[in-house]
Amino acid sequence: MQHTTSSRKVATVKRITFWSMLLFVLLLLAGCGTSTSGDAGKSSIEELTKVEVTEYEGKDLSSIADFRENSIKGPQYIDIDSYRLKIDGLVEKPAELTYEEVLDNKQYKKLVTLNCVEGWSVDILWQGVLLKDIFAEVGVKEGAKTVIFYAVDGYSTSLPLQTILDRNMMIAYKMNDVVLPPERGFPFQLVAEDKLGYKWIKWITRIELSDDVNYRGYWEQRGFSNDAAID
């Protein structure tokens, strides 16, 4: 009698163990499935293509997904809470601006084409603030001729101060009405209108006003024209 009862108990325990194990495995699989499809990092560009604008003032725009990612060290991921845009060199009041402080300036929108030396181009609606307005805040000193931009990946490039002022160049925080994703230069990319893609520095962290007219940025040191005019 005793014996029969205990073997029935053993059988019940085994059955419970089997079903709990099966349930556990199923939950594990379900969990795995969710985390794969929710991988925001990989799919963010694809998600943004569903909400970006595709046309501006009657002109068709390229997509955020039409860029070829070929940055020197791949995409950079900037923590916006600790982010500061440093403006220094030949200025009266050097500044370290937060993301919000940069965006407090008057904002502008413009359709500008980016042409890469590799032969592709994209027509994008950019939104951001004018460098002229940021320069007015810090006060550019006499003798400043070159504006040198530095990025978090060690990249750099430069443009004559006069070129930036003449073309009302901006740093953009949005493209096609959506905030730049990390791959596209979040928080800021220079909209180097009329200049080749390598002047369009992404992930800008520092802007230096300089009197050095011979400065050469990352690609400029490696044989690319410092003027970067589009033929």
Ligand X SMILES: Nc1nc2c(c(=O)[nH]1)N[C@H]1C(S)=C(S)[C@@H](COP(=O)(O)O)O[C@H]1N2
CB atoms within 10 A of CB 204: 23
Helix (H, G, I), strand (E, B) or coil at 207: strand
* Interface residue with ligand X, options 52, 61, 62, 67 (CB under 6 A): 67
Q: Which tokens go with 170?
A: 């901006």
Binding mask 35-64 for ligand X (x = CB under 6 A): ------------------------------
Nearer to ligand X, 68 or 141 (CB): 68
Segment lying near ligand X (by CB under 6 A), choices 18-26, 104-112, 130-138, 148-156:
148-156
DSSP 144-198: --EEEEEETTS-EEEEEHHHHHHTT-EEEEEETTEEPPGGGTTT-EEE-TTBBGG
Contact 155, 72 (CB under 8 A): yes
* Interface residue with ligand X, options 83, 135, 155, 215 (CB under 6 A): 155
Q: Which residue is listed with tokens 């180097």?
A: 192
CB atoms within 10 A of CB 138: 19
- Rounded CA-CA distance 129/127 in Å is 7
Nearer to ligand X, 140 or 205 (CB): 205
Q: Select the binding partner of residue 202 from ligand X, Mo ion, none (C-beta < 5 to 8 A, by kind).
A: ligand X
Using CB under 5 A as the criterion, which residues of the chain lie in contact with Mo ion when the complex forms? 116, 197-198
Q: Quote the least distance from Cβ 196 to ligand X, whole Å.
A: 7
Contact 90, 209 (CB under 8 A): yes
**One-letter amino acid for residue 113 of the chain:** T
* Interface residue with ligand X, options 197, 205, 208, 220 (CB under 6 A): 197
Q: Which residues pair with 95 in a beta bridge?
A: 87
Segment lying near ligand X (by CB under 6 A), choices 4-12, 135-143, 150-158, 159-167:
150-158
Q: Quote the least distance from Cβ 141 to ligand X, whole Å.
A: 26
Segment lying near ligand X (by CB under 6 A), choices 21-29, 31-39, 126-134, 195-203:
195-203
Q: Quote the least distance from Cβ 26 to ligand X, whole Å.
A: 42
Residues that bind ligand X (CB under 6 A): 67-72, 116, 151, 153, 155, 184, 197-198, 200-203
